[in-house]
Chains A and B, each alone.
Chain A
Amino acid sequence: DAKTTQPTSMDCAEGRAANLPCNHSTISGNEYVYWYRQIHSQGPQYIIHGLKNNETNEMASLIITEDRKSSTLILPHATLRDTAVYYCIVNSYGQNFVFGPGTRLSVLP
């Protein structure tokens, strides 16, 4: 069973920041928050993950609340190519990844 809750869909204007929320109120101490995205029918693509600290890489930033019960993925300058389904997953190393329905992000011109 997916341990996360995400909005079904979101829109974002091209060039603006896309903020995708995720609730994971039952996360345990050794579980990480992972984000993946799936563009059209391609295989899902890893974006970023974190444990308790905020993380940033060339693709996105991940903001995790202090109580770790929710997080936000930030795409700082969304482009049309960022239109995809975004999955938030909580997982421990060595465990299987369970994908929920995710958030369908539409970046609008």
Chain B
Amino acid sequence: DAGVIQSPRHEVTEMGQEVTLRCKPISGHNSLFWYRQTMMRGLELLIYFNNNVPIDDSGMPEDRFSAKMPNASFSTLKIQPSEPRDSAVYFCASSSMRETGELFFGEGSRLTVL
């Protein structure tokens, strides 16, 4: 099993640019989560999907952030326009809620907005 795959692993961009982070969950998992981690705020849940449907997006910081899951094997997190305070590591995780419910995390995408 390849695990949760995230891309890009590192992204450096300038303020105002659009950023798209991608995630491929583990095959067969029906839940997908996007987290953001910073030194100041720790690990924060941004949004999660069950069966490709967004269930809770209350953690999305503002309208500049959007997430989609067009099918069971792919999700994107988009920031438009990006700001320096968006600099963080963004983690994607997937889970099969029908089983034990534990999350499997990707290696993260480190975003730096200059």
Measuring CB to CB, which residues of chain A are less than 8 angstroms from any residue of chain B? 32, 34, 36, 38, 41-46, 49, 87, 91, 93-94, 96-101
**Residue numbers in B under 8 Å from A98 (CB-CB):** 45
- Interface secondary structure of B, over-half rule: strand
Measuring CB to CB, which residues of chain B are less than 8 angstroms from any residue of chain A? 4, 31, 33, 35, 42-43, 45, 48, 50, 55-56, 89, 91, 93, 97, 100-108, 110
Docked Cα-Cα span, A98 to B93, in Å, equals 13
Q: Across the interface, do A44 and B97 meet the contact criterion of CB distance under 8 Å?
A: no
**Residue numbers in B under 8 Å from A44 (CB-CB):** 43, 91, 93, 103, 105
A-B contact pairs, 16 of them (CB 8 A): A32-B101, A41-B108, A42-B108, A43-B93, A43-B105, A43-B107, A44-B91, A44-B103, A44-B105, A45-B105, A46-B103, A49-B101, A96-B48, A99-B35, A99-B43, A100-B42
Docked Cα-Cα span, A34 to B102, in Å, equals 8
Q: Across the interface, do B105 and A96 meet the contact criterion of CB distance under 8 Å?
A: no
Of the candidates B4, B97, B107, B110, which one forms a contact with A93 in the assembled complex, judged by CB atoms under 8 Å apart? B97
